């Protein structure tokens, strides 16, 4: 039975199959373990619903002001001093997306604080102290993805983000600034940047702060150590000398310096000054269906590609806007991933299916590939890259099923390549014909993973001959025997064994420890070189995941619980 819930704007939002005892009138804007139990997180926002951010557009610059409504969080805590919880970051993610799609004329974005002498105090401590473990981890993951999206906009979309730190930037607040390509700090003798999580809270800066200090800003290791254990942080000239910020300016010259730097960055952008953006309307429910088997703890995603004429030009794509299926499908898939992550933590296996024609998928890819510099077609491709990466780090077993009538071709073939296991039915259907999959240009460079390798390169890491052979077969509709020979699928059962083999695979996965399976999958997925992104989602996240469960942080006498009470935390002093 499909479960719908009233969203923030009163619209219907498809969530999932609900358990029979699910609350039908639960608020949709409070995550489990924070304000109430068994409530649902809704990720869809629009500018009319923002409570925490103000956005102004003055081409070629947009200004994003963080002015958090202290009473507007998900729980019974106050978001003081521009501290944030998931509600704040969901809005920020929407802003990042809308600036990319709705404002091609914006070439630089200034991020600043809306409170006097406060940029951002970071993640709300009361929220972290009271949240369930799964919510804390998913919250950190989502904020990391949002911040990576900011960096992606700067690097690939010609929309450079700059942080104008107008006051204190502590913890997650400074981490937010670190995602920007340039940081200007106000020099007023009190404003500082800091990462006080280790000395104050017994946890780590969970949204990439440690990694970005040394990997992105190239702060010397010993200086990074001093900075990250110094509660009061650093300000002024010393912050510049250590590489923590790019420049400082007195209050009288601060706004002028920020504007000057933003215009300079805008000059280097290739975004069109005179183009009209598209409007991102409500996320539909036409292309992605979800069916949940609660006994087996499996969710089946079915992605449907509609038939029809392909737009003849980028201008026709702009005219279609968010209704063109590659963008509409991507938005639905992205939203579904987030909903299931937060609202269905016990559904541990996601099965990926497609329906449609190879021809339609490859024709859309061909149009995107023919205009790599067109701002909207580029944004659609980059959105698919981010959504596929979101699947990569979703801590779920991913199983792809290639059967007659499926369309694992080009962009959608990435779903088969990213799966932990891919099964292809070796059978000719009387109506749909044989199951086939087809590689294309999209699979050889459009969608790098967090390790900066394509999924083909990751699949055949250390086997260059196999990679080249797979590349030689791009453009060919591969049947089961050929896909297996090339190493593109895990197994090819026939129609007699298919149902039983898939059932056994899913039952076996359901019987394993979720913790062990998550660790195993994460170690296998990201082969080869380590990058800033793999460190954030691997090394940093793994450590934080462990620390969040330790009594030193989350126990009744841990630092998170004791913070603000006047009592010092009691630590288990054994180092392991």
**Would residue 145 show up in a list of annotated catalytic residues for this protein?**
no
Q: From the candidates 91, 102, 175, 414, which is the catalytic residue?
A: 175
CA gap 161, 152 in Å, rounded: 10
* Residues 6+ away with beta carbon under 8 Å from 90: 43, 45, 142
CA gap 491, 462 in Å, rounded: 22
How many other β-carbons are positioned within 10 Å of the β-carbon of residue 402?
Answer: 27
Taken in order 318, 319, 321, 326, is the CA torsion positive or negative?
A: negative
The answer for 158, left when phi > 0, alpha when psi is -120 to 50, beta otherwise, is: left
- Find the helix packing angle between 86-102 and 133-156, rounded to 10°: 20
Q: From the candidates 102, 105, 145, 197, which is the catalytic residue?
A: 197
How many other β-carbons are positioned within 10 Å of the β-carbon of residue 271?
Answer: 20
Helices vs strands, H then E, count in the chain? 22, 22
CA gap 269, 378 in Å, rounded: 14
* Alpha-helical runs (H) found in 412-540: 413-418, 455-459, 464-472, 480-485, 498-511, 514-525, 532-534
Residue 503 has what DSSP assignment?
A: H
CA gap 175, 169 in Å, rounded: 8
Q: Which two tokens mark 76?
A: 């019974």
CA gap 116, 168 in Å, rounded: 10
- Closest C-alpha among 445, 435, 437 to residue 419: 437
The helix or strand, by DSSP H or E, that contains position 91, with its residue range, turns out to be helix 86-102
For residues 533-545, one letter each, b for 16 or more C-beta atoms within 10 angstroms of the residue's C-beta and e for the rest, the string is bbbbbbebbeebb
CA gap 253, 383 in Å, rounded: 37
**Would residue 123 show up in a list of annotated catalytic residues for this protein?**
yes
* Residues 6+ away with beta carbon under 8 Å from 417: 443, 455, 456, 459, 488
Tell me the C-alpha to C-alpha distance, in Å, between residue 412 and each of 166, 307, 366. 44, 15, 13
Taken in order 133, 134, 138, 141, is the CA torsion positive or negative?
A: positive
Q: From the candidates 172, 410, 440, 558, which is the catalytic residue?
A: 172
CA gap 231, 196 in Å, rounded: 5
**Would residue 175 show up in a list of annotated catalytic residues for this protein?**
yes
Say if CB 158 and CB 269 are below 8 A apart.
yes
Catalytic sites, residue numbers: 123, 172, 175, 197
């Amino acid at each position: 039975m499909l479960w719908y819930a009233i969203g923030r704007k009163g619209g219907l939002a498809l969530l999932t199959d609900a358990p029979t005892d699910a609350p039908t009138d639960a608020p949709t804007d409070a995550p489990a373990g924070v304000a109430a139990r068994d409530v649902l997180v809704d990720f869809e926002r629009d500018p009319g619903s923002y409570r925490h951010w103000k956005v102004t557009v003055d081409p070629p610059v947009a200004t994003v002001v963080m002015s958090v409504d202290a009473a507007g969080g998900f729980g019974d805590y106050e978001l003081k001093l521009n501290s944030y919880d998931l509600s704040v970051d969901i809005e920020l993610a929407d802003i990042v997306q809308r600036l990319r799609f709705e404002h091609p004329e914006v070439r630089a974005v200034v991020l600043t604080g809306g409170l006097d002498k406060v940029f951002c105090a970071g993640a709300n401590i009361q929220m972290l102290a009271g949240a369930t473990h799964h919510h804390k981890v998913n919250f950190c993951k989502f904020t990391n993805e949002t911040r990576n999206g900011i960096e992606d906009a700067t690097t690939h979309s010609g929309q450079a983000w700059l942080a104008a730190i107008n006051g204190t930037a502590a913890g997650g607040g400074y981490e937010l600034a670190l995602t920007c390509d340039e940081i200007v700090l106000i020099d007023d003798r009190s404003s500082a940047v800091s990462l006080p999580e280790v000395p104050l809270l017994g946890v780590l800066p969970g949204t990439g702060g440690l990694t970005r200090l040394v990997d992105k800003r190239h702060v010397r290791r010993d200086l990074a150590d001093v900075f990250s254990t110094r509660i009061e942080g650093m300000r002024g000239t010393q912050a510049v000398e250590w590489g923590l910020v790019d420049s400082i300016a007195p209050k009288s010259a601060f706004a002028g310096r920020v504007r000057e730097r933003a215009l300079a960055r805008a000059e280097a952008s290739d975004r069109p000054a005179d183009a009209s953006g598209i409007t991102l309307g409500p996320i539909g429910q036409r292309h992605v269906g979800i069916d949940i088997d609660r006994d087996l703890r499996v969710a089946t995603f079915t992605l449907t590609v509609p038939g029809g004429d392909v737009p003849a030009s980028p201008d026709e794509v702009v005219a279609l806007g968010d209704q063109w299926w590659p963008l509409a499908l991507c938005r639905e898939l992205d939203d579904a991933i987030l909903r299931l992550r937060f609202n269905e933590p016990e559904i541990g296996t996601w099965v990926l299916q497609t329906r449609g024609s190879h021809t339609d998928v490859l024709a859309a890819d061909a149009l995107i590939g023919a205009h790599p510099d067109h701002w909207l077609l580029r944004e659609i491709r980059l959105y698919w890259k981010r959504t596929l990466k979101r699947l990569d780090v979703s801590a779920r077993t991913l199983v792809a099923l290639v059967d007659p009538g499926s369309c694992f071709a080009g962009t959608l073939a990435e779903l088969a390549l990213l799966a932990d296991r891919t099964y292809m039915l070796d059978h000719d259907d009387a109506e749909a014909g044989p199951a086939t999959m087809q590689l294309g240009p999209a699979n050889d460079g459009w969608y790098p993973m967090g390790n900066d390798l394509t999924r083909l390169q990751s699949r055949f890491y250390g086997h260059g001959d196999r990679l080249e052979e797979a590349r030689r077969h791009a453009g060919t509709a591969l049947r089961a025997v050929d896909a297996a020979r090339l190493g593109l699928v895990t197994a090819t059962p026939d129609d007699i064994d298919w149902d039983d083999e898939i059932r056994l695979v899913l039952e076996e996965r359901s019987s394993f420890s979720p913790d062990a399976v998550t660790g195993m999958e994460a170690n296998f997925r990201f082969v080869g070189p380590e990058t800033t992104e793999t460190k954030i989602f691997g090394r940093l996240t793994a450590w934080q995941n462990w620390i969040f469960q330790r009594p030193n942080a989350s126990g009744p006498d841990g630092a998170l619980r004791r913070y603000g009470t006047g009592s010092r935390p009691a630590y288990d002093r054994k180092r392991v």
